[in-house]
């Protein structure tokens, strides 16, 4: 790890046993996140992005098999005993899950959940913890924060619940925050507010952040780097401006094409990615995207492309026939 690298994921593999056979959810992934930087992980449902985040958090299913290394702040998380891991999560390594209704305890008040977190990790007394809880709720944009402390999660709207989840995640000033599809269950206007809130707090606290999403539009203006995942692998990785200026992987191109365009005529159909996502219990010999790729040739079906550098080492892609090749051929 370099001096400013906070998180380093090295050759991580996650295998899950299923009735249909072994399911490789994460396939030899390498990623780094620097201190104060934001990484976006993008891909369709089932591509392995959430399982990768759970490997970082060490919250995998009991029967999952994990190999590789996950280095966080100089510590190998795979070697830490359970008690040290528990203290690390919430204190230095925090997470905001998709659905706040399941991540918040429905039978405890908002105040109890915030105060318990502060007392567990920071050892604050009751009065100080309550004062800090009010400040945190105010910081994430919740009106009348003192009154909210006595309320239960079901008494708040979806957007308010997600703000509470963010307040709890930020309460102990973590070094890394993982936001796993934090706006999935929210309407569009609330989505933008939550994403702007996360970006603002990330800058203010100079913490590292990983945003996991299926939407390239979410990461466009809010991340420093983007990793695109497909079938458990990272298939393209680049600094965010470089990715959108010159994406090379056909799958990345297909994801971007599926986004609604502001200048499109009303009722314009969105181009869908043809075919179906691969079955992770039946891995293909060649490129996992080849059955759905319009550029695929025989080599793509028989050989798996490695993740290699493009013009710079910062931009990598796994494709034998990147987009630029076809654009030049047709010019």
Which CATH number covers residue 63?
3.40.50.300
Q: What is the Cα–Cα distance from 214 to 176, expressed in whole angstroms?
A: 21
CB 142 within 8 A of CB 170: no
- 294 and 320 inside one domain: yes
**275 or 19: which leads in pLDDT:** 19
Residue 55 falls inside a structural domain? yes
Q: Is the pLDDT of residue 329 over 50?
A: no
Q: Is the pLDDT of residue 277 over 90?
A: no
- 144 and 221 inside one domain: no
Q: What is the per-residue pLDDT for 77?
A: 94
Q: What is the per-residue pLDDT for 191?
A: 86
Average pLDDT, the chain: 90
Burial of 294 (0-12, 13-18, 19+ CB in 10 A): exposed
Q: What is the Cα–Cα distance from 40 to 122, expressed in whole angstroms?
A: 29
- 154 and 246 inside one domain: no
Boundary residue ending a domain (154, 171, 188): 171
pTM (predicted TM-score): 0.91
Question: Tens digits of per-residue pLDDT, 280-292?
Answer: 888 899 999 999 9
Q: What is the per-residue pLDDT for 328?
A: 47
16 - beta bridge partners? Answer: 23
State how many domains the chain has. 2
Residue 267 falls inside a structural domain? no
- Count Cβ neighbours within 10 Å for each residue of 156-173 and write b for 16 or more, e otherwise: bebbbbbbbbbbbbbbbe
Residue 61 makes CB contacts below 8 A (sequence gap 6+) with: 16
Which domain covers residue 182, as residue numbers? 5-92+174-259+274-330
Residue 266 falls inside a structural domain? no
- 196 and 284 inside one domain: yes
- 73 and 197 inside one domain: yes
Boundary residue ending a domain (171, 200, 226): 171
Q: What is the per-residue pLDDT for 40?
A: 96
Q: What is the Cα–Cα distance from 274 to 293, expressed in whole angstroms?
A: 8
User: Phi and psi at residue 56, in whole multiples of 5°?
Assistant: -65, -45
Question: Tens digits of per-residue pLDDT, 208-266?
Answer: 999 999 888 889 989 999 999 999 999 999 999 999 999 999 999 998 888 777 777 88
pLDDT band (50, 70, 90) for residue 3: low
Q: Is the pLDDT of residue 99 over 90?
A: no
Residue 285 falls inside a structural domain? yes
* Least confident window among 188-197, 249-258, 322-331: 322-331
Q: Return the HEC string of the chain.
A: CCCCEEEEEEEEEEEEEECCEEEEEEEEEEEEEECCCEEEEECCCCCCHHHHHHHHHCCCCCCCEEEEEEEECCEEHHHCCHHHHHHHECCCEEEECCCHHHHCCCCCCHHHHHHHHHHHHHCCCHHHHHHHHHHHHHHCCCCCHHHHCCCCHHHCCHHHHHHHHHHHHHCCCCCEEEEECCCCCCCHHHHHHHHHHHHHHHHHHCCEEEEEECCHHHHHCCCCEEEEEECCEEEEEEEHHHHHHCCCCHHHHHHHHCCCCCCCCCCCCCCCCCCCCCCCCCCCCCCCCHHHCCCCCHHHHHCCCCCEECCCCCCEECCCCCHHHHHHHHC
- 310 and 247 inside one domain: yes
Q: What is the Cα–Cα distance from 133 to 111, expressed in whole angstroms?
A: 7
Residue 97 falls inside a structural domain? no
Average pLDDT over residues 99-121: 90
- 140 and 207 inside one domain: no
Q: Checking DSSP bridges between strand 225-230 and strand 316-317, what pairing results, if any?
A: unpaired
- 181 and 55 inside one domain: yes
pLDDT band (50, 70, 90) for residue 331: very low
Q: What is the Cα–Cα distance from 296 to 149, expressed in whole angstroms?
A: 56
Q: Is the pLDDT of residue 325 over 60?
A: no
Q: What is the Cα–Cα distance from 96 to 85, expressed in whole angstroms?
A: 17
Q: Is the pLDDT of residue 327 over 60?
A: no
Q: Is the pLDDT of residue 330 over 50?
A: no
């Amino acid at each position: 790890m370099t001096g400013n690298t906070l998180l380093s994921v090295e050759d991580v593999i996650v295998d899950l046993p299923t009735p249909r056979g072994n399911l490789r959810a994460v396939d030899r992934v390498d990623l780094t996140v620097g201190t104060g930087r934001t990484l976006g992980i993008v891909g369709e449902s089932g591509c392995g992005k959430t399982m990768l985040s759970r490997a970082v958090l060490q919250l995998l299913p009991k029967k999952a098999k994990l190999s590789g290394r996950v280095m966080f702040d100089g510590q190998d998380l795979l070697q830490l005993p359970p008690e040290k891991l528990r203290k690390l999560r919430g204190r230095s390594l925090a997470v905001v899950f998709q659905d706040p209704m399941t991540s918040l305890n429905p039978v405890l008040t908002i105040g109890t959940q915030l105060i318990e977190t502060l007392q567990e990790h920071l050892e604050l007394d009751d009065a100080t913890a309550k004062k800090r809880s009010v400040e945190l709720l105010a910081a994430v944009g919740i009106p009348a924060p003192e009154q909210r402390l006595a309320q239960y999660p079901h008494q708040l709207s979806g957007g308010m619940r997600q703000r509470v989840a963010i307040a709890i995640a930020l309460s102990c000033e973590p070094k890394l925050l993982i936001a796993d599809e934090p706006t999935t269950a929210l309407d569009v206007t609330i989505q933008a507010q939550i994403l702007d809130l996360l970006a603002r707090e990330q800058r203010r606290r100079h913490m590292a952040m990983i945003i996991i999403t299926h939407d390239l539009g979410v990461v466009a203006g809010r991340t420093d780097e983007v990793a695109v995942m497909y079938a458990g692998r990272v298939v393209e990785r680049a600094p965010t401006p470089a990715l959108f200026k010159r994406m090379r992987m056909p799958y990345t191109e297909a994801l971007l094409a599926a986004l609604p365009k502001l200048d499109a005529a009303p009722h314009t159909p969105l181009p869908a990615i043809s075919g179906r996502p691969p079955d992770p219990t039946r891995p293909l010999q060649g490129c996992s995207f080849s059955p759905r790729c319009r550029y695929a040739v025989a080599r793509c079906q028989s050989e798996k492309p490695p993740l290699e550098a493009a013009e710079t080492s910062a931009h990598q892609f796994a494709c034998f026939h990147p987009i630029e090749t076809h654009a030049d051929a047709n010019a």
